[in-house]
Every structure is written in structure tokens, then in C-alpha cells.
């Protein structure tokens, strides 16, 4: 059985758990967090020298880190990754968008308002910057989702899983999703897809 190391309150760690649930893929969850220093131990750094979660450990002991890389690995040969070359390219495009244009603003703003230890970093300037950047990203998504039911086209893919993780928590971070009706409708479509689970879900112990 594969093992996913991650933190239950992290959107990035939610991504592979959500995909595994939708795929009906059994896995073992090991709770580990950067907030308590457990990702900086020698034991964990031996698995991931970047000291971050999520981390996927395969049954044969091979390791894979970075949330979107894990999504692509898990989605291979499933309905969540197109079989044609262009379709995969479009999915990759949105995965890069998530990491470079969405996560640095929506996820970072969520962290600034969620975690007390980050209060010193939540300056008015930083909050304004993340709000503006997040709204730009949500605007790009709104334009796309006004044309297609899912972010990469007609069918749900790992691009939707990646972008759902933090967008579904965007209002908590101070974004007005009422201004993005196509995004809001898309969130409901992702939730309605079979096997959906909430952020802090873990599989039953086997």
C-alpha cells in the first residue's frame, strides 16, 4: 500500500488525498507538519531533502514529492489525465498556473489569516498584495470556467483537483466568491464528482 505523508490542514496535502478518494485508491496517511518542525527532522529530510509535504512513498520504497507531481503520477491511466498529448499539455498549463499564479496568493493569504504564528507577516501591504494577486487568479479561472465546465475542458482532471484545494477555502481567506459565479458553480461540480471528501478526511485504517 502507498503512504502519503502530510498535514490535514494543508491544501497541498489535501490534493493527493482527494484524488485517491475519487479513485478509490487505498493508502496510509501519516500526519506530519512543517508547523511543528517534524518535516525538518533528519528522518524526514532523508525522504525529502526539501523538507516539505506532501510526500508519496510507493510500496517499493520509492519516493515522490511536490503535490502536483504526485497528482500526475496517481492520475496516470485514469479519467483524471487526458490520453492525448494536447489535452495533457492543457492540464500541465493549469497545474503551473496553480503553483505560480494562484497558490502564492490564495493559499498564502489563507495561511496568513489562519495561523497565529504568521500574524507578524500579515502586514496590510502583504494582505493587500495577496488579495490583489488572488483576485487576478480567480478572474482568469472565471473566464475559463464561463466557457467550459471544468478547468481544462469538458471533463474533470487533476487540474481541477489542484485548483479546488485552495479555491474552496478562498472565502475564509477573504475573497468574495460571489463575484465569480462560474468559479462557484465549478466548485459545486467538483464536489458532486463521485468519491469527494472534505479537507481533513483520512482513509479508515486497514
Q: Structure pTM?
A: 0.96
C-alpha cell at 50: 526539501
Equal fold, 2-75 vs 85-192: no
pLDDT bracket for residue 204 (50, 70, 90): confident
pLDDT bracket for residue 158 (50, 70, 90): very high
pLDDT over threshold 70, residue 206 = no
Q: What is the mean pLDDT of residues 169-186?
A: 97
* DSSP labels, the chain: -EEEEE-TT-HHHHHHHHHHHHHT--EEEEE--TTTTGGGSHHHHHH-TT--S-EEE-TTS-EEESHHHHHHHHHTTSTTS-SSHHHHHHHHHHHHHIIIIIIIIIIHHHHHHH-GGGGGG--HHHHHHHHHHHHHHHHHHHHHHTT-SBTTBSS--HHHHHHHHHHTTTTTTT--GGG-HHHHHHHHHHHHSTT---TT--PPP-
pLDDT over threshold 70, residue 172 = yes
pLDDT over threshold 70, residue 7 = yes
The confidence score (pLDDT) of residue 34 equals 80
CA distances from 172 to 99, 111, 112 (A): 20, 10, 11
Provide the residue ranges of all domains of the chain, joining segments of one domain with +.
Answer: 2-75, 85-192
Average pLDDT over the chain reads 96
Q: Which residues does 124 contact at the CB level (< 8 Å), separation at least 6?
A: none
C-alpha cell at 135: 483576485
What percentage of the chain has pLDDT greater than the value 70? 100
Correct CATH for 85-192 of 3.40.50.720, 3.30.470.10, 3.10.20.30, 1.20.1050.10: 1.20.1050.10
pLDDT bracket for residue 37 (50, 70, 90): confident
The confidence score (pLDDT) of residue 36 equals 83
Contacts within 8 Å (CB) and 24+ apart, 142-148: 142/180, 142/181, 142/182, 142/183, 145/182, 145/183, 145/185, 145/186, 146/182
CATH 3.40.1410.10 matches 2-75: no
Q: What is the mean pLDDT of residues 90-99?
A: 98
pLDDT over threshold 90, residue 70 = yes
Amino acid at each position: 500500500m502507498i503512504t502519503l505523508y502530510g498535514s490535514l490542514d494543508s491544501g497541498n496535502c489535501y490534493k493527493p488525498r482527494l484524488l485517491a478518494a475519487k479513485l478509490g485508491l487505498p493508502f496510509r496517511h501519516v500526519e506530519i507538519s512543517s508547523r511543528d518542525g517534524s518535516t525538518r527532522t533528519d528522518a524526514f529530510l532523508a525522504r525529502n531533502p526539501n523538507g516539505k509535504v506532501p510526500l508519496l512513498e510507493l510500496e517499493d520504497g520509492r519516493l515522490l514529492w511536490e503535490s502536483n507531481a504526485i497528482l500526475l503520477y496517481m492520475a496516470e491511466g485514469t479519467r483524471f489525465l487526458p490520453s492525448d498529448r494536447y489535452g495533457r499539455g492543457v492540464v500541465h498549463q493549469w497545474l503551473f498556473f496553480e503553483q505560480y499564479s494562484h497558490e502564492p496568493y490564495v493559499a498564502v493569504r489563507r495561511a496568513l489569516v489562519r495561523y497565529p504564528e504568521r500574524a507578524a507577516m500579515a502586514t496590510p501591504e502583504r494582505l493587500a498584495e495577496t488579495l490583489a494577486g488572488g483576485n487576478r487568479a480567480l478572474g482568469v479561472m472565471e473566464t475559463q470556467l464561463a466557457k467550459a465546465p471544468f478547468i481544462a475542458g469538458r471533463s474533470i482532471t487533476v487540474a481541477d483537483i489542484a485548483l479546488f484545494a485552495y479555491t474552496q477555502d478562498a472565502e475564509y481567506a477573504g475573497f468574495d466568491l460571489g463575484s465569480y459565479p462560474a468559479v462557484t458553480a465549478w466548485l459545486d461540480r467538483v464536489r458532486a464528482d463521485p468519491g469527494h471528501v472534505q479537507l481533513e478526511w483520512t482513509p479508515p485504517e486497514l
